[in-house]
Amino acid sequence: MCNNHHHSNIKLDKNGNCNTDEHKNWNRRSFLQALGLVGGGSMMLANTPLSVSKPSPLSMALSQAETDKILILVRLQGGNDGFNTIIPVYDYDIYANARPLIRIPPSEFISLNDDFAMPKPMNKLEGVWGDGKMKVVHGVGYENSSLSHFKGSDIYANTNLVEDDRTGFMGRYFSEIYPDYFFNPPASPPSIQIGSIGNLVFKGTESDYSFAVSDPRRLLQIIENETFYNLDDIDENCTYGDKLRFLREATNTTFNYAEVISAAYERSTDFGGYLDDSLGRQFSIISRLIKGGLGTKVYLVTLGGFDTHNNQIQRHQQLLTSFSEAISNFYADLTAAGWDDRVLSMTMSEFGRRFRENGSLGTDHGTAAPTMFFGTGLNGSGFVGEHPDLNDLTRGGNVTNTTDFRRVYATVMKDWLCVDEAMVGRALLDTNGGPFESLDLGFNCSGTNPGIPTDGESLAHIPTYSDSQTYINIVSPQTTHIEVTLYNVVGQKVATLANEMLMEGVNMVVNVKESANTRLSTGPYVYQIQTNNGNFSKSIVIS
């Protein structure tokens, strides 16, 4: 019998068997839709919508990384005006002439050094700067910048400057090192988004299986009643039995996430001092989840309203007040709990604003803008890169970027999250034949390389790709029997790739296609390595 538990929409024919003909054209997304796992939404935590994405392209991978560092992406939605955020004091006359009505006067400066200042609404960041916990990267952008909110947001997420792409750069990285989710789902949600529904930066080709609960009473009901899908009575002979198992396992993991999120939140306490506004509530929740030991490594928060075409002075100042209050209190909170050196925050926005003001006391869509970083891990405050030349504007009145935004991403991935440099290049669609050079943000990765999973000194394994072939490179510090098994993405065994003795220190190279001795379709797979010392697994791609 084919299980029709809950609302899976798997039907039986008149003999009680799986009706495979009716569903032979269904793909995985069809099944996700049938179970209600497609689409965004939110659960409520502290009266704030919280979206749990599982598995998240970036953070599922990072949950397996050998680092305790955490990244907070602070999205300034709408296009932040960088010139009124980090004021170019060194060229103030040019700045003031371009913005006679919306310029920040010297009396409103918070001086950062002789060349740059912040406006007074950001006064709460003066102490953060003085404590050595803030850096600013100048002129972040890309050539031929899109001035569209949607296109600009997509490009900053997918890093594809050539064509439309519905995957994010971190999603591509995630797809390459896909953990063994079907065998061993992570204990905590890899990524959490608060204050917005999803973001392209986290999307992989197939790994967008979001489950959301809008009513906290429903969340509590799931936890108390243990409303999980049954995995024991699935007809494995049914054409879609394997897909049904996959969906139920994914859903069960999400139910578990509801419990661990609530538990982490309750294990910690409020620090206090946060403004009772959207961003303040978002950071307050993140702090409690971090202090509660949730284990999630990537968070995304959003502050909207930066599309300041008119009446910018008051609107922008209110936004900057909210932003600086939240950041300042967040790091005071983390410092008190001993977490400040492990949490890095960075801003992102779809574009900057035009250098010259418009006729409505505002600014129109522009190009490059500064990216701000916060955290003790920066090892001192300062400026990075070259500020755009205010005397060299395009025909549209925009400055030229001086720092490729992909270089900013690459630095964070390599030097903070400890991602292998070659993987970073592939994730960022680097077609220049060389890696993006790191910026000097004050930190370097000193941990083990998460691109080469290890269990102490028991094994090292990493996939490589060359000439349409996929290889698995395995090295053991001691002689051991080794068996390498290949599985498809729904957990079915496809082939045994190796079953032999591996000598100490010898680099064993497995050609996956050749060793499988069966036709392999293109796409993602998972390999599992069994040795005398334990099991290891990782995702690979067959091209």
pLDDT reported for residue 513: 93
Q: What is the DSSP letter of 121?
A: G
**The CATH number of domain 460-542, selected from 3.40.1190.10, 3.40.190.290, 3.40.50.1110, 2.60.40.3080:** 2.60.40.3080
Encoded tokens for 98: 């371009």
Nearest to 116 by CA among 124, 104, 127, 128: 104
Name which of 173-182, 347-356, 412-421, 518-527 the model is least confident about.
173-182
Percent of residues, the chain, with pLDDT higher than 70: 67
Distances (CA, A) of 9 to 1, 23, 231, 236, 491: 14, 10, 16, 17, 21
pLDDT reported for residue 108: 97
pLDDT of 440 higher than 90 = yes
Burial of 220 (0-12, 13-18, 19+ CB in 10 A): middle
Cβ–Cβ < 8 Å for 208, 53:
yes
pLDDT digits (tens, 9 = 90+) for 12-70: 444 444 444 333 333 333 333 333 333 333 445 555 555 554 443 344 444 444 467 88
Q: What is the mean pLDDT of the chain?
A: 76
Encoded tokens for 315: 């609107």
Distances (CA, A) of 430 to 30, 91, 173: 33, 35, 12
Nearest to 216 by CA among 170, 167, 266, 253: 266
Q: What is the DSSP letter of 84?
A: G
Give me the sheet containing 109-111, strands edge to edge: 87-88, 116-119, 109-111
pLDDT digits (tens, 9 = 90+) for 226-238: 455 555 666 656 6
pLDDT of 222 higher than 70 = no
Which residue ranges make up each domain of the chain? 43-207+215-224+231-427, 460-542
Note whether 43-207+215-224+231-427 and 460-542 share their fold: no
Helix intervals (H) in 177-240: 216-225
Cβ–Cβ < 8 Å for 314, 119:
no
pLDDT reported for residue 310: 96
Q: Where are the extended beta strands (E) located within 379-521?
A: 382-384, 403-404, 460-466, 469-475, 480-487, 493-502, 507-511
pLDDT reported for residue 193: 67
pLDDT reported for residue 501: 92
Name which of 252-261, 419-428, 532-541 the model is least confident about.
252-261
Is the C-alpha dihedral spanning 63, 65, 67, 73 positive or negative?
Answer: negative
pLDDT reported for residue 490: 56
Range 277-281 average pLDDT: 88
Burial of 279 (0-12, 13-18, 19+ CB in 10 A): buried
d(CA 515, CA 80): 53
**The CATH number of domain 43-207+215-224+231-427, selected from 3.30.70, 3.30.300, 1.10.1060, 3.40.720:** 3.40.720
Can you state the percent helix, strand and coil of the chain, rounding each to 5? 30, 20, 45
